[in-house]
Each structure stands twice: as C-alpha cells, then as structure tokens.
C-alpha cells in the first residue's frame, strides 16, 4: 500500500496527459487547479482496468478534488462560490506551490 | 471495427410504433420506464460483464448514434437501438437474423 | 417458471404483460436479448438474476435512508461516515447481485449532506453512473448528453429548468461521479414535517430530491406531481 502523496487541503493541478488509452479523467479538469478534499481507497486505475487487468492492474490512491467553477469555465455564468467535485488517481495530479 | 454511419432499416422501421421524439426540455424527458426498458438495461449489464460491449463504450455510442442517425427517436430507445446497431456492425448477427428473430418473437407474443 | 428461462426462447416475465398491443420495442428488446443468448454471450439465467435484482431496487431505498437519517442522528452519522455499511441497516447490500456489485455500480457509496450553505447535485459526465442500489434505474434525462454536459457547466441554469432556484448565498456543488464512487444527496428536512414518522417522511423524499434537482416539501410526494404542476 503506497502512502498517499497528497494531503487534504493540498492544492493540485490535473496533468494534461495524452489519452490514447482509456481514461476516466475528464478533459474539462485537465490543467485546472483544485484542492484535495478527501482521500479515497486505492483502486486499480481505469487506464489498466480497460485492459481487463482487475487482478494485475496498477493500483493508486485516489482523491476527491474540489474546483471552483470559475476555474473550470472562464465564462461561468453562476456564482463565484459554486464548486465541482470529482475524483482522480494520484498520477494525474501534480503539486502546486501554494 | 468501424461504426456504420447509416441507420439500419430494421431499426428505423420501429420509429412509427413509438413516434418521433417530441421533448423540448429535460423536464419533459421523464416517464415511468416500461418493462422492456428495464430489461434492456439488464441486457446492457450482461453485455458489459461479458466483455462484449462495455458500459462506457456503449454510452458513448448512444451519444453518437442517438444524436445523429437515430435522433428522431425518443431518448429511452437509445440503448436498444445502439446495442442492436453495434452488435450488427460487429457481425454478431446480421440484419436479416434480427429481422427473422423479431418476426418469431412477434408471432409468439401476439399469440399469447 | 424457472424452466422457461433456461432455454433462452421464452421469457416468463412477458407472460404478465396484459396490454393488448405488443410494442415493437418490446419485440426488438427481446429479439436482441435472445440473439445474444443464442450466441452464448450470456445466459438467460444471468439475465434473469440481474433483472430480479433490478426490479427490487428503486428510489424507495434512498428515501428510507434519508427518512431514517432525519429521524435518528446516530444513524445519520453512520450513513455519512460509511454509506455502504449503513445501507445494510435498511437491507441494501451494494455487493448484490454478483457478490462484487454490478459492473457499473461498484461498491463505494457516499451520501452528500445538503446544508443551508451547500446544495449538492449529482451527474456523471462520462457515462451515466448512478447509485442504483439506492435509487434504481436512472431517469432518461439523467442519461442525456444535454444533462451531463450542462450540469457541470451551467448547473444553476439546469436546476432552474427543474424549477429549482437557489438563493445566491448557497454554494452549488456539483459531483461528477467519474470513478468508482457513487453518490446520493441527503436533502434537508423541510418545515412542516415535525413529528412525522419515518414512513411519512420517506414519502416526500423523492428521486429528484436525492439527485439534487429538487427540494423536498411537506406537500409533495412525487416527482411526476411537480411535472404536472409545471404543465399547468
């Protein structure tokens, strides 16, 4: 069991990796900055799950990341305090110096 | 394994029976699912579990096909149209086989 | 009855449909399923087992959870801390029907509590992940690209289409269930329900209030009802 690299409260950026392969990391959160709000268990990453490697696939810690809507959508029409939460595996995240 | 960009006639022929899509807002798209609709969702689960048509892959095909060649159909028909379309594309059964099967199912159900 | 399912040619359930006309979609669905069974992709028994499970689940499960949480603070605590475990107290087992859940439900369940400051709403932009063990089959609109694309981008506009206008001091928090977790919203208990039993409370906790596109009201017991209201 790898120890999670990030802690609740950390600021992270979602990497902009190429996605020739199956992934569940949405396009609209890539390159965006958010805050870790919760840890999730270690799961087989979707990139490996797609190859039917539930047993042997790589496992990574997962996180819940909260974004300001205005960070995701420059033209956001709602209110500044509106947010969106979603999950990502550790290798999709990079630390942002606070 | 490319996707046929034309609708299959055997599927288009069902449009008359259900009628054209009429909803204009999300709120209009709400109805108690009929028995065949929940059976279809179950079929989708079985196909996904069997590794034939993964749920995520199916949903994306539903989005593509449902918003293009089958866009005249009400949204609750998207799963069955997409599954039938995709399985025919992949040669799991032919359009004729589906037509024949539908005839025999129809005869059986109407007999009851 | 069970024998009927074994041969893949006869669907026992259809025998209960008494409507005079058989719809083409009923025929199409059964034809596709039977062809798949004939090709050996899955068995009629696989389908029957899953259908039985699917018939048993529905929003009543979620309503029960919320009503119990409103009535019992200790249960509410357990529900928020470990949704999957707390579900067992009302007879919902996320490991059904296969022992490992279903391919699209997984087994990680989290309840999102609405507060006077935060309103939660769920969506799955990638596919249409939905907490089926507690809410049953997702409504058609939940699966449309229109809902999925716009709920993450313009949540207040979409909520307004459902008749839900939230005050400016409330944060709208959209949860995009893109991985293995499944979510359900626990709405706030509305006024006018003081002294109600859990059964009474459960009736106003409709599907839409647990998705987050509506708020429960003491005088509203169905989502369809609000639809009719809107049409008036």
The structure's pTM equals 0.87
Which residues make up the CATH 3.90.330.10 domain(s) of chain C?
A: 59-231
C87 annotated as ligand-binding: no
- Return residues 146-185 of C near A (CB < 8 Å): 152-157, 168, 171-181
Q: What rounded mean pLDDT belongs to chain B?
A: 91
Q: Closest Cα of chain B to A52: distance in Å?
A: 9
Chain A contact for C80, CB < 8 A?
A: no
Q: What is the pLDDT of residue B4?
A: 83
* Residue C229: band (very low, low, confident or very high) from pLDDT cuts 50, 70, 90: very low
**C59-231: in CATH 3.90.330.10:** yes
How many B-C residue pairs are in contact by the CB < 8 A criterion? 160
Instruction: Note whether residue B26 is domain-resident.
Output: no
Q: What is the pLDDT of residue C17?
A: 47
CA distance A89 to A40: 9
Give me the half-sphere count of Cα atoms (radius 13 Å) on the Cβ side of residue C37.
Answer: 22
Quick one: which of C83, C63, C84, C62 has its CA closest to C132?
Answer: C62
Chain A contact for C27, CB < 8 A?
A: no
Q: Which of A69-83, B60-74, C8-22 has the lowest mean pLDDT?
A: C8-22
Q: What's the pLDDT tens digit per position in C51-66?
A: 998 888 999 999 999 9
Domain A11-95, CATH number (from 2.30.30.50, 3.10.310.30, 3.40.50.800, 2.60.40.10): 2.30.30.50
- Cross-chain residue pair C179–A28, CB shorter than 8 Å: no
Chain B contact for C126, CB < 8 A?
A: yes
Q: Is B39 in contact with C51 (CB distance < 8 Å)?
A: yes
Structure tokens that stand for A83 in this block:
């947010």
Q: What's the pLDDT tens digit per position in B21-66?
A: 888 778 777 777 888 999 999 999 999 989 999 888 999 999 999 9
Mean pLDDT throughout A7-29? 87
CA distance B73 to B88: 19
Mean pLDDT throughout B4-9? 91
Mean pLDDT throughout A49-75? 85
CA distance C38 to C8: 7
Chain B contact for C35, CB < 8 A?
A: yes
Mean pLDDT throughout A19-30? 82
Chain C contact for A41, CB < 8 A?
A: yes
Dihedral sign for Cα C111, C112, C115, C119, please: negative
Tell me what ipTM this predicted complex has.
0.94
Q: What is the pLDDT of residue A52?
A: 59
Residues of C with active-site annotation: 124, 127-129
Q: What rounded mean pLDDT belongs to chain C?
A: 87
Instruction: Note whether residue B24 is domain-resident.
Output: no
Q: What's the pLDDT tens digit per position in C143-186?
A: 999 999 999 999 999 999 999 999 999 999 999 998 889 999 99
- Cross-chain residue pair A84–C125, CB shorter than 8 Å: no
Kindly tell me if the per-residue pLDDT of B99 is higher than 90.
Answer: yes
Kindly tell me if the per-residue pLDDT of A51 is higher than 70.
Answer: no
Q: What is the pLDDT of residue C129?
A: 87
Give me the half-sphere count of Cα atoms (radius 13 Å) on the Cβ side of residue B8.
Answer: 23
Partnered with residue C183 across adjacent β-strands are C110
More confident residue, A50 or B40: B40
Q: What is the pLDDT of residue C107?
A: 74
Chains meeting C at 3+ CB pairs closer than 8 A? A, B
Q: What is the pLDDT of residue C226?
A: 46
Q: Please give the residue of chain A at the shortest CA–CA distance from B49.
A: A52
Percent of chain C's residues with pLDDT above 70: 84
Residues of B in contact with A24 (CB under 8 A): 56
| Alpha helices (H) in chain C, listed in sequence order | 2-6, 24-38, 44-56, 59-71, 73-81, 83-88, 132-135, 140-143, 145-153, 155-161, 198-204, 207-211, 223-231
Kindly tell me if the per-residue pLDDT of A38 is higher than 70.
Answer: yes
Residues of C in contact with A62 (CB under 8 A): 179-180
Instruction: Note whether residue B55 is domain-resident.
Output: yes
Percent of chain A's residues with pLDDT above 90: 63
Enumerate the domain spans of chain A.
Answer: 11-95
Q: What is the pLDDT of residue B112?
A: 63
Q: What is the pLDDT of residue C192?
A: 96
Residues of B in contact with A50 (CB under 8 A): 54
Instruction: Note whether residue B53 is domain-resident.
Output: yes
Distances (CA, A) of C47 to A56, B49, C8, C25, C134: 28, 11, 10, 18, 20
Residues of A in contact with B56 (CB under 8 A): 22, 24
SS3 C226: helix
CA distance A54 to A46: 9
Q: What's the pLDDT tens digit per position in C93-146?
A: 988 877 666 666 677 899 999 999 999 999 999 888 899 999 998 998 999 999
Kindly tell me if the per-residue pLDDT of C2 is higher than 80.
Answer: no
Range of the domain at B66: 9-15+34-111
Kindly tell me if the per-residue pLDDT of C228 is higher than 60.
Answer: no
Classify burial at C25, counting beta carbons within 10 Å of its beta carbon; exposed 0-12, middle 13-18, buried 19 or more: buried
C129 annotated as ligand-binding: yes
CA distance A80 to A71: 10
Kindly tell me if the per-residue pLDDT of C7 is higher than 60.
Answer: no
Q: How many domains does chain B have?
A: 1
């Amino acid at each position: 069991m790898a120890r999670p690299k990030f802690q609740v409260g950390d600021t992270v950026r979602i990497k902009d990796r190429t996605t020739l392969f199956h992934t569940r990391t949405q396009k609209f959160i890539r390159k965006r900055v958010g805050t870790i709000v919760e840890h999730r268990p270690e799961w087989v990453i979707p990139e490996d799950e797609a190859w039917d490697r539930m047993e042997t696939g790589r496992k990574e810690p997962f996180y819940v990341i909260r974004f300001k809507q205005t960070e995701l959508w420059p033209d956001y029409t709602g209110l500044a305090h509106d947010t969106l939460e979603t999950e990502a595996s550790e290798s999709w995240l990079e630390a942002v110096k606070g | 394994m490319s996707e046929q960009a034309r609708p299959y006639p055997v599927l288009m022929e069902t449009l008359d029976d259900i009628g054209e899509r009429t909803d204009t807002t999300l709120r209009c798209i709400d109805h108690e699912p009929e028995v065949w609709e929940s059976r279809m969702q179950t079929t989708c689960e079985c196909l996904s579990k069997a590794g034939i048509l993964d749920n995520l892959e199916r949903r994306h095909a539903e989005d593509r096909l449902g918003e293009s060649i089958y866009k005249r159909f009400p949204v609750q028909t998207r799963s069955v149209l997409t599954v039938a379309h995709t399985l025919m594309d992949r040669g799991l059964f032919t359009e004729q086989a589906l037509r024949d099967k539908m005839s025999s199912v129809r005869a059986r159900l109407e007999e009851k | 009855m069970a024998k009927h399912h074994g041969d893949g040619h006869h669907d026992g359930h259809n025998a209960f449909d008494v409507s005079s006309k058989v719809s083409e979609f009923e025929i199409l669905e059964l034809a596709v399923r039977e062809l798949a069974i004939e090709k050996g992709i899955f068995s009629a028994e696989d389908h029957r087992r899953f259908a039985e499970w699917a018939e048993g689940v529905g929003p009543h499960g979620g309503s029960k959870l919320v009503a119990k949480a409103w009535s019992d603070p200790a249960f509410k605590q357990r529900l928020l801390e470990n949704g999957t475990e707390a579900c067992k107290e009302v007879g919902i087992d996320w490991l059904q029907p296969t022992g490992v859940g279903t391919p699209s439900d997984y087994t990680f369940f989290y309840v999102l509590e609405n507060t006077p400051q935060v309103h939660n709403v769920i969506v799955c932009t990638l596919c249409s992940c939905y907490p089926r063990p507690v809410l049953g089959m997702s409504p058609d609109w939940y699966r449309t690209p229109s809902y999925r694309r716009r709920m993450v981008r313009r949540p207040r506009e979409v909520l307004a289409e459902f008749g839900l206008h939230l005050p400016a001091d409330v944060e709208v928090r959209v949860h995009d269930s893109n991985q293995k977790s499944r979510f359900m919203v626990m709405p706030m208990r509305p006024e006018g329900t003081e002294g109600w039993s859990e059964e009474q409370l459960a009736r106003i906790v409709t599907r839409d209030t647990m998705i987050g596109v509506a708020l429960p009201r003491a005088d509203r017991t169905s989502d369809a009802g609000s639809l009719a209201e809107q049409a008036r």
